[in-house]
Amino acid sequence: MTTVTNQTEKTRIDKLREAARPCFQCGICASSCPVFRVAPDVNPRLAVDSIVSTGEVPEEGNEWLCAYCLMCDQRCPMGISLAEILIELKNISAAEGTAPPQHCSSS
């Protein structure tokens, strides 16, 4: 886990926690994810669980592998936008300087 220190980013995490709170961990998002099928570490359900349970950004950085296909969004019975949550996690990681270097511009 990466603990967010900046107050602005903490506020963004709090908003994500509110968005993810209805999750009841059914796992439909993970079973619908085409990336999860080939890379089991990319688990949108666990990313949401991490946010709700700890309010911290998962350190693994697997959100960076999300293909933004929106399958998880379409199938979540609680209407949670996993894809938007993953994008916001990436934005927070970038703002905190913890984004994987291969995903950062070198220019």
Residues of this chain that bind ligand SF4 (CB under 6 A): 23-29, 32-33, 35, 44-45, 48, 66-72, 76-78, 80, 82-83, 86
Q: H helices of 1-107, where? A: 7-20, 28-32, 34-38, 44-54, 71-75, 82-96
Minimum distance, C-beta of residue 98 to ligand SF4, in the bound complex (Å): 19
- Measured from the CB atom, the residue of 4 and 80 that comes closer to ligand SF4 is 80
- Measured from the CB atom, the residue of 16 and 35 that comes closer to ligand SF4 is 35
- Measured from the CB atom, the residue of 45 and 90 that comes closer to ligand SF4 is 45
- Phi (first) and psi of residue 2, to 5 degrees: -115, 120
